[in-house]
Chain A
Amino acid sequence: MTDEDRLLPIANVGRLMKQILPSNAKISKEAKQTVQECATEFISFVTCEASEKCHRENRKTVNGDDIWWALSTLGLDNYADAVGRHLHKYREAERERTEHNKGSNDSGNEKETNTRSDVQNQSTKFIRVVEKGSSSSAR
């Protein structure tokens, strides 16, 4: 594991930054690196809080509710509201997909996996939520 493995991919960070700037704006390499570190630390901060709650309750899977709870506990109420709405939409989409595929038994809950990949999945989901939030704010 190197330093780069512990950070979000910088190309994706740059693309997200570019989405809410004017088309003629330019972002320096240093700015991308700084935002990369800030975003990584923020995600680790929230995920660590959620993981701590799961550890107290003897659970191994960190799910969306835990992330929402962590944001609420840390006082990030605006983020918690946005995550709650997107989590609700996601579960509705999962329910519709389940009803469409009547053969599957998936009820919308996340599958059992080990903690490491789960944390990464949560980070990926959070990135998606942030992206949607940025798009909605840009409108």
Chain B
Amino acid sequence: MAMQTVREGLFSAPQTSWWTAFGSQPLAPESLAGDSDSFAGVKVGSVGETGQRVDKQSNSATHLAFSLGDVKSPRLVPKPHGATFSMQSPCLELGFSQPPIYTKYPYGEQQYYGVVSAYGSQSRVMLPLNMETEDSTIYVNSKQYHGIIRRRQSRAKAAAVLDQKKLSSRCRKPYMHHSRHLHALRRPRGSGGRFLNTKSQNLENSGTNAKKGDGSMQIQSQPKPQQSNSQNSEVVHPENGTMNLSNGLNVSGSEVTSMNYFLSSPVHSLGGMVMPSKWIAAAAAMDNGCCNFKT
């Protein structure tokens, strides 16, 4: 992270060419120069990206400052965090690097020596070896230390609430409104459990209307595609014509029944007694209570 310590600057090593390129003074002792190279290499990449983003936002020049091995930091508090925060913390921490950079302009005597282990590090002592690994400690503005800790706690609390809601959403509610649920229970259902819609009810009503009057029966039978069947029955069996017509009209609308009627009529042409039993069996098979055979 970018930070600067005025007090630390008094004891820092002389300026080197490596740090001059980034426009900041190195604050690490000479003994740690070897380790600081690789560490700075890792930081330069990440901070550079943040610098670009900051440039897009504010159109201002970015000054990058590096501080390594702040041994005199009084706060050495390990902070264990979950994987979620270790993923989010680098971006968020880098986002906070902008204000301390701005404070460099007035050159106030502000000291930044807060210690936060953002990557779940359990170290209690500030050792140079930690700088080589990715689990190095991150230095933040001391004024913001308590705020950052408080924000982490509230963020963890909010994350826990969200997790609970996700778990609860798995068990789906059977219905949203109780009154609508009761109404659905009272609705009549057909075969297979589906609701009976208004169209099927109208068809039943029209079937009932067809039973009234012989004249209306003949009129309705003409537009239907069974005209050829009815004509054949009239020509071949003039005496049983009325009975056949009535039977056909009663079970009209069902293709299976009409096929049975077509197949059975030539076979039982002479036997008048067999016809009613055949139709009764067909009606039983169809399980259609609306059919009523006449005489």
Contact = CB atoms under 8 A, between A and B. Distances in A.
Q: A and B, one complex?
A: yes
A6 B92 CA distance: 16
Contacts of B95: 38, 41-42
A1 B92 contact: no
A20 B151 contact: no
B165 interface: yes
A93 interface: no
Contacts of B143: 73-75
A75 B158 contact: no
B150 A1 contact: no
A137 B110 contact: no
B58 to A, nearest CB: 6
Interface string B116-143: 0000000000000000000000000101
A37 interface: yes
A34 interface: yes
B144 A48 contact: no
Interface in B218-240: none
Contacts of A137: 58-60
B91 A38 contact: yes
B141 to A, nearest CB: 5
B293 interface: no
Given A38-B92, A77-B103, A48 B154 contact: yes
A4 B55 CA distance: 27
A27 to B, nearest CB: 9
Interface of B: 53, 56-60, 88, 91-92, 95-96, 99-100, 102-103, 106, 110, 141, 143-144, 147-148, 150-151, 154, 158, 161-162, 165
The 8 closest A-B pairs by CB, nearest first: A75-B143, A38-B95, A76-B99, A78-B102, A75-B141, A74-B144, A49-B147, A41-B92
